[in-house]
Chain A
Amino acid sequence: MAASLTTGIGKGGGVPPIGSGWGGGGGGPHGHGGSRRASFTGLWVLLAAIIMFFAALVSVYVVRRGISDDWVATPLPSLIWWSTGILLASSAALEIARRALRNGRRVQFNGWWLAGTTLGLGFLAAQYMTWQVLWESGYYMASNPSSAMFYVLTAAHGVHLLGGIIALLYVALQAVRLRLGPGKRTIADVSTAYWHFMDGLWVFLLVLFLVRG
């Protein structure tokens, strides 16, 4: 895929550049600016729904931990630091790629985007390996409310990230088909913003596991 991703070099899009920051754009509701704006609005609204979903799970975490005496903290495997590092790196790679696309450096975009996507898949693999380590140490879903919550939250986060991976691959496909450029990059920007959010959400969950484990 790397080879085909780079075939878009130099073929600039005919569409004029659109605003430079997040959620920029403008113009009428049916123009390109309008569709860019709607894409970002859709994203923010989606994130609000996701926040409520995780807020419910986290409130169960806090309440279930507080109401009874059967909560035994699940030890976090050291692997979790590796997966965190991988996720942060993937976010950084996607951000560099996004900026490269905005400035019309499409070769750079292709490389960094591919790196970011691969690291994202790497994070999911690392999370699965974390589960394996826990299984080997005898921590299953039904072992304890703390391990149950760990599996639920990491799985819920993983499912949302998997959705993000699909978006990243879709963007890659658009790049392969030479459909991206400085004037047509909303999908890359929106996917990156979603990815950063998932990154932040993971850091929040990690802090929760550490502080209220």
Chain B
Amino acid sequence: MSEPAAVPVHHAPRGFVRRYIFSTDHKVIGLQYFFLALFSVLVGMLLSLAMRYHLTNPDAKVRLFEMLWPDGAAGGLMTPELYLSLMTIHGTIMVFFVLTTAPQSGFGNYFLPLQIGAEDMAFPVLNMLSFWTTFLALVVLLAAFFVEGGAPLGGWTAYPPLSAIPAAGPGQGMGMTLWIASVGLFCVASLMGAINFITTIIDLRCTGMTLARMPLTVWGWFVTAIISLLAFGVLLAAAVLLLLDRGAGTSFYVPGGLIVNDRLLDHKGGSPLLWQHLFWFFGHPEVYIAILPGMGLVSQVLSVFARKPVFGYKAMVTAMLAIAVLGFVVWGHHMFVSGMSPYSAIAFSVLTMTIGVPSAIKTFNWIGTLWGGSIRFETPLLFAAGFVSLFVAGGISGIFLGQPTLDLYLHDTYFVVAHFHMIMGVAAIFGIFAATYYWFPKMFGRSMHSALGKAHFYLTFIGVYLIFVPMHSVGLAGNPRRYPDFKEFEFLAELGGAHTFISLAAYFTAAVQLLFLANLFWSMWKGRPAAANPWEATTLEWTVASPPPHDNFGGVTPQVHQGAYEYSVPGRSRDYVMQSEP
């Protein structure tokens, strides 16, 4: 490192509360989001383990279940309603509080201002409000477990009429109301975050940081923020109307003549499809909200560790923008089985297939970036390469599901579960892991243990394929999803072995994550002290001390003279040129 590390001019607030709790420093807020997501992912993972255990041992009496859910698991035996409520909270917590929160709000908050040479986000107080609203949303969501009736049953998509009628089942009363409140709060928090991200990128770039010199991570956060801005308002509107249907006697989503628990409802004239359209208008872009920051990060990491410029920078940016635009016009492919006109189904199908084009461009360019590089096989690179593998493996089954004729058969099977876990869940999680290993030295000034990190990668990589490849087969064999057990179905009996295998693979993969947790917390305090630029990367965050001072650049606004991917430049004494070097 030739650049002098910055020293702070503006010091952080001295009081503990202002400095670490109600902080307006984007780095502290980024870490708050990171740890919120870490807590959430552990809760979500434990819920999934409970579900997998129940699926393979439906008659088991588990004392732990009874201790956690005295009503839903009296005597330790899990009721179908409890299973469904675990599924709902698992999906909700993973989609919103992990996949939406960690890559964008967590790493984005921490590194966006650093990478574009800004002192902080454009609106620091709004940033703080955004985090605490997210925190409140998480508390409200988890509270659903502890109210009468427990958590809601309808999955993270909350389809009416089930979700619109409090009397429809346990969990559909107060639990469902809390779910809607939580999602509404999360929408508001995400909108505040999106406004901050977009404004910061447009207006706070330092001198010389042209759009074409922005790291692809910044492009990923930018495009994601634009999608969030346009999508979350729609979900918020839908959620408000759902609340009114539940409490104010309106009928937006509830049709007439509905009998629930032997009682004819007063509602009339509404349409459950209305909710599905609004929900998926948000819900499909949400998939890209989860994955686009990962795409940006993977481009970054592959380039740094292959010691090569990103292959096709402009094509990468264009592909992200194309994915964002197409993401808003394909929501109907979630609704092929809703009875929609085959003509609109074909339109949605063709548009869905079109997303394969920018996706293929990205994959091609990632491989092109690695091709012929002097690859350094560090942990971040492994997870980034794993991301590419999972993105392709999970994307291919999307081409099956994007066709109405195939989707009619596959839609309510485990094939869909395997598909979206692979691409939206695990691929995005690999992006989060890559980001954690890559930026850990900057965030904490220490290095994570390399051998442990690599072991974590290989075992997790094998583990997730062991879970989700057989799950595709189980789905193809016609195994329905959202069923708490399969005891009653003779034709599923021979799939019992596959389900046991999947469950064992899930326990194994979950256990491997202990390696990550141990590495993370051990390295925070005991890890080897890291240099300011341990990976020899070019972007601005590596020009400052680790961890960066409160005001990022010590009161000196950096100047940028280079693109973000100047590696192996001929005629230079070392194989990279910092963005701030003349």
Q: Which residue of B lies closest to A70 (CB)?
A: B269
> How many angstroms between the C-alpha atoms of A20 and B363 in the bound complex?
48
Q: How far is the CA of A143 from the CA of B289 in the complex (A)?
A: 39
When the two chains form their complex, are residues A52 and B250 in contact, meaning their CB atoms are under 8 A apart? no
How far, in Å, is B284 (CB) from chain A's closest CB?
A: 15
Instruction: Tell me if B206 is interfacial: C-beta within 8 Å of chain A.
Output: yes
Among candidates B205, B237, B252, B268, residue contacting A53 with C-beta atoms closer than 8 Å: B237
A45 touching B241 by the CB < 8 A rule? no
When C-beta atoms are compared, the residue in chain A nearest to B116 turns out to be A29
Query: Across the interface, do B194 and A45 meet the contact criterion of CB distance under 8 Å?
Result: yes
Residue among B205, B207, B250, B268 facing the most chain A CB atoms (10 A cut-off): B250
Counting contact residues on chain B (CB < 8 A from A), the size range is: 35 or more
Which residues from chain A contact B231 at a C-beta distance below 8 Å?
A: 52
Known contacts A42-B199, A46-B195, A152-B244; A29/B206 CB under 8 A:
yes
Give the shortest distance, in Å, between B226 (CB) and chain A (any CB): 9
Q: Kindly supply a per-residue 1/0 record for chain A positions 32-72, scoring 1 wherever the CB is within 8 Å of any chain B CB and 0 otherwise.
A: 00100110011001101111111111011001100111110
With beta carbons under 8 angstroms apart, the residue of A30, A52, A68 that contacts B230 is A52
Whether, in the assembled complex, A141 has its beta carbon less than 8 Å from a beta carbon of chain B, the answer is yes
- Determine if A41 and B203 form an interchain contact, defined as CB atoms under 8 angstroms apart: yes
Contacts of A34 in B (CB 8 A): 203-204
Interface of B is mostly: helix
A71 vs B205: C-alpha distance when bound (angstroms): 52
* Beta-carbon contact of A38 and B233 below 8 Å: no
Decide: A48 and B229 in contact? CB cutoff 8 A.
yes
Query: A58 to chain B: closest CB distance in Å?
Result: 9
Q: Which residues, 134 to 186 on A, are CB-close (under 8 Å) to B?
A: 141-142, 145, 148, 152, 156
A145 and B194 form a contact (CB under 8 A): no
B234 lies within 8 A of A37 (CB): no
Q: Is the pair A145, B202 in contact by a Cβ cutoff of 8 Å?
A: no
- Verify B274–A60 contact, CB threshold 8 A: yes
Known A-B contacts A56-B233, A141-B244, A152-B241; the reply to A49 vs B199 at CB < 8 A is: no
For the complex, is A28 an interface residue (Cβ under 8 Å from B)?
Answer: yes
- Pair A64/B207 contact, Cβ less than 8 Å: no
B164 within 8 A of A: no
Q: B230 near A38 (CB under 8 angstroms)?
A: no
B443 CB–A CB distance under 8 Å: no
A70 to chain B, nearest CB (A): 4
Nearest CB of chain A from residue B397's CB, rounded to whole Å: 30
Residues on A with C-beta less than 8 A from B229 are 45, 48-49, 52
Question: How near does chain A come to B196, taking the closest CB pair, in angstroms?
Answer: 8
Stretch of B39-47, B117-125, B447-455 contacting A (4+ beta carbons < 8 Å): B117-125
- Overall SS of chain A's interface: helix
A40 → B minimal CB distance (Å): 9
Would you call B312 an interface residue if the criterion is a C-beta within 8 Å of the partner chain's C-beta atoms? no
Known pairs A45-B199, A67-B271, A141-B250; A57 contacts B119 (CB<8 A): no
Q: Are A30 and B250 in contact (CB under 8 A)?
A: no
B234 touches A68 (CB 8 A): no
Inter-chain contact A29/B557, CB cutoff 8 Å = yes
- How far is B232's CA from A134's CA once the two chains are assembled, in angstroms? 32
Q: Once the chains bind, are B233 and A53 in contact (CB under 8 Å)?
A: yes
Contact B234 A45 (CB under 8 A): no
- Contact A56:B244 (CB < 8 A) given known A45-B195, A45-B199, A141-B250: no
For A28, what are the chain B residues with a Cβ–Cβ distance below 8 Å?
A: 207, 557
The interface residues of chain A lying within 8 Å CB-to-CB of B114 are: none
Given the known interface contacts A60-B241, A145-B250, A145-B269, the answer about A49 and B233 at a Cβ–Cβ threshold of 8 Å is yes
Are B199 and A38 touching (Cβ within 8 A)? yes
Q: Which residues of B contact A50 (CB under 8 A)?
A: 233
What residue of chain A has the Cβ atom nearest to residue B202's Cβ? A41
Report yes or no: B248 in contact with A29, Cβ–Cβ below 8 A: no
**A interface footprint on B157-200 (CB within 8 Å = 1, 0 otherwise):** 00000000000000000000000000000000001001110111
In the assembled complex, the Cα of A48 lies from the Cα of B241 at a distance in Å of 21
Q: With both chains docked as a complex, state the minimum distance between the C-beta of B143 and any C-beta of chain A, in angstroms.
A: 25
**Known contacts A53-B237, A60-B274, A63-B274, A42 near B123 by CB under 8 Å:** yes
Q: A29-B204, A64-B270, A67-B271 are in contact. Are A142 and B249 (CB under 8 A)?
A: yes
Which chain B positions have C-beta within 8 A of A59?
Answer: 278
- Which residues from B are CB-within-8-Å of A63? 271, 274, 277
Residue of B at shortest CB range from A51? B233
Query: Is B471 at the interface (CB under 8 A from chain A)?
Result: no
Question: In the complex, what distance in Å separates the CA atom of A56 from the CA atom of B251?
Answer: 16
Chain A residues with CB under 8 A of B139? none
Residue among B205, B250, B277, B278 making CB contact with A29, cutoff 8 Å: B205
A29's nearest neighbour on chain B, judged by CB, is B204
Smallest CB–CB gap between B245 and chain A, Å? 9
Contact yes or no, A64 B274, CB < 8 A: yes
Cβ–Cβ < 8 Å partners of B241 in chain A? 57, 60, 152
**Contact between B240 and A152 (Cβ–Cβ < 8 Å)?**
yes
B122: shortest Cβ distance to chain A, in Å? 5
Give bound CA distance, A70 to B255, whole Å. Answer: 11
Q: Please state if A41 and B251 are interface contacts (CB–CB under 8 Å).
A: no
B541-557 vs A, CB cutoff 8 Å, 1 = contact: the mask equals 00000000000000001
Q: Determine the distance from Cα of A71 to Cα of B232 in the docked complex, in whole angstroms.
A: 28
> Nearest Cβ distance between residue A130 and chain B, in whole angstroms?
18
Flag if B278 contacts A56 (CB, 8 Å).
Answer: yes
CA distance A131 to B224 in the complex (A): 40
Looking at the complex, which one of B123, B207, B230, B252 makes contact with A145 (CB distance below 8 Å)?
Answer: B252
Complex Cα distance A156/B244, Å?
A: 13
In the assembled complex, the CB of A12 is this many whole angstroms from the nearest CB of chain B, namely 28
| Most chain B C-beta atoms within 10 Å of own C-beta, residue among A46, A54, A69, A156 | A46
Q: Is the CB of A141 within 8 A of B249?
A: yes
When distances are taken between beta carbons in the complex, the residues of chain B under 8 Å from A148 are: 244, 248, 250-252
Q: Which of B119, B205, B252, B557 has the most CB of A within 10 A?
A: B252
A52 touches B233 (CB 8 A): yes
Provide the residues of chain B in CB contact with A53, threshold 8 Å: 233-234, 236-237
Chain A residues with CB under 8 Å of B233's CB are: 49-53, 56
Chain A residues with Cβ below 8 Å from B251 are 145, 148
> Smallest CB–CB gap between A139 and chain B, Å?
13
In Å, the complex CA distance between A53 and B240 comes to: 11
Query: Are A29 and B203 interface neighbours, CB within 8 A?
Result: yes
* Cα distance, A54 to B277, chains bound together (Å): 15
Given contacts A38-B204, A50-B233, A67-B274, 8 further A-B pairs with CB under 8 A are A46-B195, A49-B230, A53-B237, A56-B278, A60-B237, A67-B269, A70-B256, A145-B270
- Give 18 A-B contacts (CB < 8 Å), ordered by A residue: A29-B118, A29-B557, A30-B557, A41-B203, A46-B195, A48-B229, A49-B230, A52-B231, A52-B234, A55-B234, A60-B278, A63-B271, A64-B274, A67-B269, A141-B248, A142-B249, A148-B250, A148-B251
Using CB atoms and an 8 Å cutoff, list the residues of chain B in contact with chain A: 118-119, 122-123, 191, 194-196, 198-200, 202-207, 229-234, 236-238, 240-241, 244, 248-252, 256, 268-271, 274, 277-278, 281, 557
